[in-house]
A and B are shown apart, each in its own frame.
Chain A
């Protein structure tokens, strides 16, 4: 304490100095760390390259290079007698033609959406001549990015005079480091003898004062204190941000609501790509409003075993249970009219439930039941005896862990009253326990899904007529073809039919299966009923420049034969990735070219033109650089987006431009996404180079305005 007193005597000036030196030290540390990171990264890369070269060298060593009769030899004479004449046979190496320049790119088979770049990542270099000629180009480029250049520290354009001690973007982190360090410094000095554990003591106010005076723009002393608290708290091991649900498989699993358990899965899952946090769709719809089509969660009317809750002697528990269950079942639009009353397990129930279903669902329900029964048997044989013991003795005294409780809530929302199934899935509880728990939880129980109220169910008869009108409508749409094609975004306007206010309608897109509107929505594309190959305008999908939807077009075969390449429908090549084998070689025209391995027929699909999907604005910014390079891989996708194959793409990006091409590009709507297909304009022979005219796509319905860029590789 004497020490502190002494120091405080020195006053804020001393502290300020210390803050400054500490800050400098941390900055340096950080810089070193970064340099080390870069170094190690470089070294690992280097190692990778070396390994690869080693492999290649090994390969070459195994090849025999034929000896040749050496005709001539080189001699080196020396003017000094002590050096002997050296003779070495002359070996001539054949000249090897150099390959064209290629800027590195990443392979991709599906488009990849990237955000706009707000800072210029690098200042492009394109030879001294160009820079000399056009000095203003770079300046203009930087202006496009509001003067922001990546890693602009010491500054091409010196942003601020404070760059010595302030970096806006890194301030946050630094401060964190800084303060932790600071704290350690202080504590270490003040209580050197104390064990490390006790170090977590709040630093004195003086430090904060000194910091705030040093960096006035970082807030007052109090603010800094708050921030410090915030930052240090997170340093506790294993701590998660408050909004994060603990791992349900982990030790800290808590009992949470269904929504919370499933929140990550629901929000991150892309219903269009079937992936979590997909690369293509920035916004994912949550499934809350998705309606359940299948009535598969029939109450298993047969007891799953001797100890099944159904067999439970009718008592107070059963009586209790009746009320809530009645409610839930009643909500299901009377599909199971008598299941609630006759639930305690008469065989007649099952047949009844079956009958109430539609034909299609009937079979499925039977299937479900069948499988459920199998599981019952399994469950029985495995865990029957121990459960029995428990049940009889301590029916009420079962303890539910957080994970189990959470899981129960998740499952009850899916399986409703099928306690046997829930118990089986939880695994650690019997159906009776589940049932009891369910009774306890009755207040918060999940509800059965509400049927869509917006549209009344339609009769089947109408369906066909509707389809015919749809075909007409497509025709109509085509005739009044607007020049603009907009990106599709699934619409979500609950309780509102898809009318003029619907985004799909206004963008002149069809509603897709991803839309939240009812499946009977008038704006939905119905798919085709073709039995042929869907490669003529007879097919409504083909006519609408869409690929057949495997979930809508059920007769053409777009949704069958997943394993084989022989699909009867010829209008689903892009989605299936049925690309042709392409080979890269120096072009006969310019730069690199792409060549086809096997012959293709006219109108056959060759490859999808893949790349990054960028906004039109971003494309304008990037295009400026590409135009300077005389090499552009930009391709207009629709009014909102452009495909840029510069950084990411597939081999077709090497196809050169020609006014008399052998391929054509066509932008198609493929399961809700616009994608660019490259098709054969005529029959193409083995080994031919592929060209397409970049300016005019053949898709009549999809006419594009905007910048037309030639894909000409200089």
Chain B
């Protein structure tokens, strides 16, 4: 389960499963037979869940590293069921005035100044743990403390002449820190603590500081130690400190020696974007021997994960050396914390915020909570975390496996998602999130006196198949789901704005449905999660074609042709009439006129659109006949006739070759009806089989 705590990092090792009370007994190595049984049970559990967990993690890992376009990146605060995460409200917009902006900024600046002047960074060191030591009570006469030096490292902006970034190290103090202390014995007040004035974090005079970080340097006069590594031993209290910049850095230090050993660790306080990285909380930082070369960052890519190679961060934490400390931002040396938890989020959101960062911050918060929940464990080495409990709710995750005959329970006191550590804040949101985002599992909500129970079982129907919109696949042919490595894809941007009617959120929707698991199998992706086809050609509809309703036009081509041929069939309708009728029919079909009162307008539009054609084809009189006929049907007024004809005359005059054509018309009078030549050929006896007189009789 330790896996859960490190959403980003990855390996699932059976040896880490010590969270469960049963397994923790292993470490005491008391009851061997029971242990075997437990081990077997554990194997079963892992069989059931491991691959799923791994895959889940993989997905998340991939997402973190590559931000796969196919996995939508939701801004959690914009999800409806997470709306409480959206801190902003639009209420202020109403009163917003541009002129106020400067004022506001100035005021804020002033406040900040006064605030930061008085605030400190308080570090309280709980202890230095090194695994190759025996528990401290066994070696009381031995060295019980190490000396710690804390330096504030300021990385400044490179100036033109500088070869590398100038670095300033400001010593902030030296303390003696207990070595492998027993958390039950010591009180908080007795811990050494250190204050760093926030003035230090102000821009320094000569150089513009890029980032601030704390450098911890622990030196201890070493003594030979037995190799204290116990295989299978695990520490449930391990804590992963991963600021994004310093992920998986540490490695175990197993050197033996009599000389003074020096361990170092560095943590970023403000990154180069001046974003606060260290919030109030309890930290455990893994230290590193000075002589060790840090693990190459490159190894931490997902490819190595895929190979199944394990990275050793947990062992680092189980074996030490680690330094534990509490961090507080205080207004004054003893005052309350002035750095509210939400503040860093706000600062992060200020620019180029990505879900990854958000997750990390949440992740960190989750870690603290995890500690609380497992603090009852036997091997607890630290006292209660000072954090006030945020939630009274206790959530029991009940893992059902082996055909739902076995179960293991894990309790948590917060509403973080155990898989991705997202802080859901509300039970409803948590359940919704679990259901929607972790479809490998089936979650069922069961009310519980102390809070809630969530039954977790493997979704047998989950086949890893793609549940997104197949259009995305279609639009990106190739090997979108190749597991052999990342593939480059054409970028598709979807703007997801959806405001459907929503039912009132109710926890009852997560209760196990009576009709079995049927409901569970349904994908929760609503909307267009299928590939559509053109209705005429059965060709797949491409995303860019989604918007137009292509096959639903009022006048499809065949109908336009049909009306023409149908009119051509008449033997007793002359070509001039036919042509005007065809033009008019096409006009009506195009615009879909349905009412008598549209006709005046329709006629004018007709004159406008086809006027030039009518003049060119010498159909003016037929056009007039058409108008008069419309008038006879009581559909248009004489005023419309007048206007339409006037427009036609106007068009005639505007036509560049109008005069020429008139001359041609004169000639045409002599030659045999060439002016309507086209229609003559089409109407010549052959096709005609219908007569209009037959229609009325």
A residues less than 8 Å from B597 (CB atoms):
550-551, 559
Q: In chain A, residues 171-228, which have Cβ atoms closer than 8 Å to a Cβ of chain B?
A: none
Report the Cα distance A468→B673, complex, angstroms: 60
With known contacts A102-B538, A686-B527, A287–B633 Cβ distance under 8 A: yes
A residues less than 8 Å from B638 (CB atoms):
296-297, 368, 414-415, 421
Q: Could you tell me if B485 and A583 are in contact, using CB atoms closer than 8 angstroms?
A: no
A17 sits at the interface (CB 8 A):
no
A residues less than 8 Å from B573 (CB atoms):
244, 264, 268
A residues less than 8 Å from B631 (CB atoms):
414
Q: Could you tell me if A241 and B572 are in contact, using CB atoms closer than 8 angstroms?
A: yes
Q: What's the minimum C-beta distance from A51 to chain B, rounded to whole angstroms?
A: 13
With known contacts A249-B676, A274-B593, A585–B641 Cβ distance under 8 A: no
Q: Could you tell me if B637 and A364 are in contact, using CB atoms closer than 8 angstroms?
A: yes
Q: Could you tell me if A267 and B693 are in contact, using CB atoms closer than 8 angstroms?
A: yes
Q: Could you tell me if A66 and B588 are in contact, using CB atoms closer than 8 angstroms?
A: no
Q: What's the minimum C-beta distance from B118 to chain A, rounded to whole angstroms?
A: 54
Q: Nearest CB to that of A266 among chain B residues?
A: B629
Q: Which residue from B532, B566, B576, B649 sits with its C-beta under 8 Å from A277?
A: B566
Q: Which residue from A66, A249, A413, A427 sits with its C-beta under 8 Å from B576?
A: A249
With known contacts A286-B696, A378-B646, A268–B625 Cβ distance under 8 A: no
- Chain A residue total in the interface (Cβ 8 A): 102
Q: In chain B, residues 635-687, which have Cβ atoms closer than 8 Å to a Cβ of chain A?
A: 635, 637-639, 641-643, 645-646, 649, 668-673, 675-676, 680, 685
B residues less than 8 Å from A707 (CB atoms):
none
B residues less than 8 Å from A245 (CB atoms):
574, 577
Q: Could you tell me if B602 and A414 are in contact, using CB atoms closer than 8 angstroms?
A: no
Q: Which residue from B529, B566, B641, B696 sits with its C-beta under 8 Å from A267?
A: B696
Q: Could you tell me if A63 and B477 are in contact, using CB atoms closer than 8 angstroms?
A: yes
A687 sits at the interface (CB 8 A):
yes
Segment with Cβ contacts to A, from B7-15, B66-74, B182-190, B487-495:
B487-495
B residues less than 8 Å from A662 (CB atoms):
none
Q: In chain B, residues 528-543, which have Cβ atoms closer than 8 Å to a Cβ of chain A?
A: 528-536, 538-539, 541
A residues less than 8 Å from B618 (CB atoms):
249
With known contacts A109-B554, A279-B563, A372–B642 Cβ distance under 8 A: yes
Most B-side CB within 10 Å, residue of A413, A559, A585, A683: A585
Report the Cα distance A69→B483, complex, angstroms: 11
Most B-side CB within 10 Å, residue of A275, A276, A582: A276
Q: Nearest CB to that of A52 among chain B residues?
A: B537
Report the Cα distance A22→B571, complex, angstroms: 30
Report the Cα distance A597→B471, complex, angstroms: 14
Question: A508-551, CB under 8 A of B: which get 1 and which 0?
Answer: 00000100000000000000000000000000000000000011
Q: In chain A, residues 657-678, which have Cβ atoms closer than 8 Å to a Cβ of chain B?
A: 671
A251 sits at the interface (CB 8 A):
yes
Segment with Cβ contacts to A, from B29-37, B85-93, B279-287, B545-553:
B545-553
Q: Nearest CB to that of A601 among chain B residues?
A: B501
Q: Could you tell me if B539 and A238 are in contact, using CB atoms closer than 8 angstroms?
A: no
With known contacts A107-B536, A276-B584, A251–B482 Cβ distance under 8 A: no
Q: Nearest CB to that of A418 among chain B residues?
A: B638
Q: What's the minimum C-beta distance from A354 to chain B, rounded to whole angstroms?
A: 15
Q: Could you tell me if A585 and B533 are in contact, using CB atoms closer than 8 angstroms?
A: yes
Q: Which residue from A68, A269, A367, A584 sits with its C-beta under 8 Å from B532?
A: A584
A residues less than 8 Å from B595 (CB atoms):
550-551, 559
Q: In chain B, residues 584-609, which have Cβ atoms closer than 8 Å to a Cβ of chain A?
A: 584-585, 588-589, 592-599, 601-602
A442 sits at the interface (CB 8 A):
no
Q: What's the minimum C-beta distance from A547 to chain B, rounded to whole angstroms?
A: 10
A273 sits at the interface (CB 8 A):
yes
Q: What's the minimum C-beta distance from B490 to chain A, rounded to whole angstroms?
A: 7
Report the Cα distance A579→B554, complex, angstroms: 11
Q: Could you tell me if A108 and B624 are in contact, using CB atoms closer than 8 angstroms?
A: no
- Chain B residue total in the interface (Cβ 8 A): 103
With known contacts A65-B478, A247-B676, A378-B646, A99–B559 Cβ distance under 8 A: no
Q: Nearest CB to that of A513 among chain B residues?
A: B596
Q: Nearest CB to that of B637 among chain A residues?
A: A296
Q: Could you tell me if A238 and B673 are in contact, using CB atoms closer than 8 angstroms?
A: yes
Q: Could you tell me if A66 and B632 are in contact, using CB atoms closer than 8 angstroms?
A: no
A341 sits at the interface (CB 8 A):
no
Q: Could you tell me if B498 and A576 are in contact, using CB atoms closer than 8 angstroms?
A: no
Question: A371-408, CB under 8 A of B: which get 1 and which 0?
Answer: 11001001000000000000000000000000100010
Q: In chain A, residues 561-590, which have Cβ atoms closer than 8 Å to a Cβ of chain B?
A: 562, 575-577, 579, 581-586
A651 sits at the interface (CB 8 A):
yes
Q: What's the minimum C-beta distance from A577 to chain B, rounded to whole angstroms?
A: 6
Q: Nearest CB to that of A406 among chain B residues?
A: B621
Q: What's the minimum C-beta distance from B181 to chain A, rounded to whole angstroms?
A: 53
Q: Could you tell me if B489 and A294 are in contact, using CB atoms closer than 8 angstroms?
A: no
Q: Which residue from A274, A277, A597 sits with its C-beta under 8 Å from B528?
A: A597
A265 sits at the interface (CB 8 A):
yes
Q: Nearest CB to that of A686 among chain B residues?
A: B527
Report the Cα distance A247→B680, complex, angstroms: 10
B residues less than 8 Å from A282 (CB atoms):
695
B residues less than 8 Å from A250 (CB atoms):
574-576, 673, 675-676
Q: What's the minimum C-beta distance from A465 to chain B, rounded to whole angstroms?
A: 26
Q: Which residue from A107, A252, A263, A685 sits with its C-beta under 8 Å from B535?
A: A107
Q: Which residue from B535, B559, B575, B635 sits with its C-beta under 8 Å from A274?
A: B635
With known contacts A238-B680, A371-B643, A597-B528, A68–B585 Cβ distance under 8 A: no
Other than the given A238-B673, A249-B620, A411-B624, 7 more pairs (CB < 8 A) read: A68-B487, A234-B685, A249-B675, A265-B626, A287-B634, A291-B634, A581-B552
Cβ contacts A to B, 25 pairs, < 8 Å? A99-B538, A102-B538, A106-B556, A238-B673, A243-B691, A247-B575, A248-B621, A249-B618, A251-B670, A262-B629, A264-B572, A265-B629, A269-B633, A274-B588, A296-B638, A297-B638, A371-B642, A372-B642, A410-B628, A584-B534, A671-B594, A686-B526, A686-B528, A687-B527, A687-B529
Question: Chain B residues in contact with chain A, CB under 8 A?
Answer: 477-479, 482, 484-485, 487-490, 498, 500-501, 526-536, 538-539, 541, 546, 549, 551-554, 556, 558-559, 562-563, 566-567, 570-577, 581, 584-585, 588-589, 592-599, 601-602, 618-622, 624-626, 628-635, 637-639, 641-643, 645-646, 649, 668-673, 675-676, 680, 685, 691-693, 695-696
Question: Chain A residues in contact with chain B, CB under 8 A?
Answer: 56, 63-66, 68-69, 71, 99, 102, 106-110, 234, 237-238, 240-241, 243-252, 261-269, 271, 273-277, 279, 282-284, 286-287, 290-294, 296-297, 364, 367-368, 371-372, 375, 378, 403, 407, 410-411, 413-415, 421, 424-425, 427, 513, 550-551, 559, 562, 575-577, 579, 581-586, 595, 597, 599, 650-651, 654, 671, 683, 685-687
